[in-house]
Amino acid sequence: MPSLNALLAAHARLLVLDAASSRVQIGWLERGQRPRWFASEAEAGVAVFEGVKSLGRSPEEADALVFCEGPGSVLGVRTTAMAIRTWTTLRPRPVFTFQSLAVVAHALRRPELTLIADARRDTWHAMKLGGTLQRIPTAELGGALAMPEHFRNWTALPGGVERVPYSLEDCFARVADDDLFRATDAPDAFLHEEPSYVTWTPQIHRAPSS
């Protein structure tokens, strides 16, 4: 897994897209230049394109695309993934993904802290510094907990949860040498496991025999 600095060394211009929270963040990172960022609380399908335009760039100019696969808003993540699939169809180039909680955990450098995000049905995405992303029921959460700002929750927050900033501009500056990025050829929202489907054999409905 490469670091942000490694990505910039290999690809001079990066377009970063993050719609995992209610605050959509778009970044233009160019080798040797100061990073430029845009943030909006508009709906992801609007904010993504407004962000790129406001930075004075076109997706075609990027040498590689970087996006947040979650956890967070599945709709927001899939909106950015759909845009990326369209752009890479028009002009093929590398795509890299990162996880929201991993970036925050590495930026904070607090090993005692468990970062959480709502996973619905009374469960939470959870990650500690140096650990892997897990899905944990509310009743099994313990210790120091924190949730990034602008992340929505449908399940009531456990007691004592700390809110921590979620600014990619700040986080990326702190984790530039950390190996947090993964190449992908199928941009989509993160899933703990692939969905499974039950098969059934169709039958013609008949009236019960007397």
Instruction: Convert the pLDDT of each residue in 166-181 to its tens digit.
Output: 999 999 999 999 999 9
End-to-end CA distance of the chain: 67
Mean pLDDT of 141-146: 96
More confident call, 196 vs 12: 12
Contact status, residue 97 vs residue 67, Cβ threshold 8 Å: yes
Residues 85 and 53 in one domain: yes
Residue 3 pLDDT > 80, yes or no? yes
Q: What tokens does 166 get?
A: 């979620």
Indicate the pairing of strand 24-30 with strand 13-18.
antiparallel
* Cα 44 to Cα 79: distance, rounded to the nearest angstrom: 7
Mean pLDDT of 11-16: 98
C-alpha distance from residue 133 to each of 117, 122, 200 (Å) = 11, 17, 33
Looking at the structure of the chain, the number of domains it has is 2
Q: What tokens does 43 get?
A: 């709906």
Mean pLDDT of 23-52: 96
Q: What is the pLDDT of residues 42-66, one digit of tens each?
A: 999 999 999 999 999 999 999 999 9
Residues 84 and 14 in one domain: yes
Residue 197 pLDDT > 60, yes or no? no
Indicate the pairing of strand 134-137 with strand 123-128.
antiparallel
| pLDDT the model gives residue 191 | 76
157 phi, psi to nearest 5 deg: -65, 140
Mean pLDDT of 21-46: 97
Alpha-helix runs per DSSP H in 56-155? 74-90, 100-108
Residues 48 and 147 in one domain: no
Residues 108 and 155 in one domain: yes
* Cα 120 to Cα 107: distance, rounded to the nearest angstrom: 26
- The percentage of residues in the chain with a pLDDT greater than 90, rounded to a whole number, is 87
Torsion of CA 55, 59, 64, 68, to 10 degrees: 70
Residues 90 and 67 in one domain: yes
Residues 179 and 157 in one domain: no
Residue type, 207: A
| pLDDT the model gives residue 7 | 98
| pLDDT the model gives residue 28 | 98
Residues 84 and 130 in one domain: no
For residue 139, the enclosing domain spans 102-164
Residues 154 and 174 in one domain: no
Residue 195 pLDDT > 50, yes or no? no
Burial state string for 11-47 with b = 16 or more CB within 10 A and e = fewer than 16:
beebbbbbbbbbbbbbbbbbeeeebebbbbeeebbeb
Residue 196 pLDDT > 50, yes or no? no
Residues 128 and 177 in one domain: no
* Cα 56 to Cα 78: distance, rounded to the nearest angstrom: 24
Residues 123 and 151 in one domain: yes
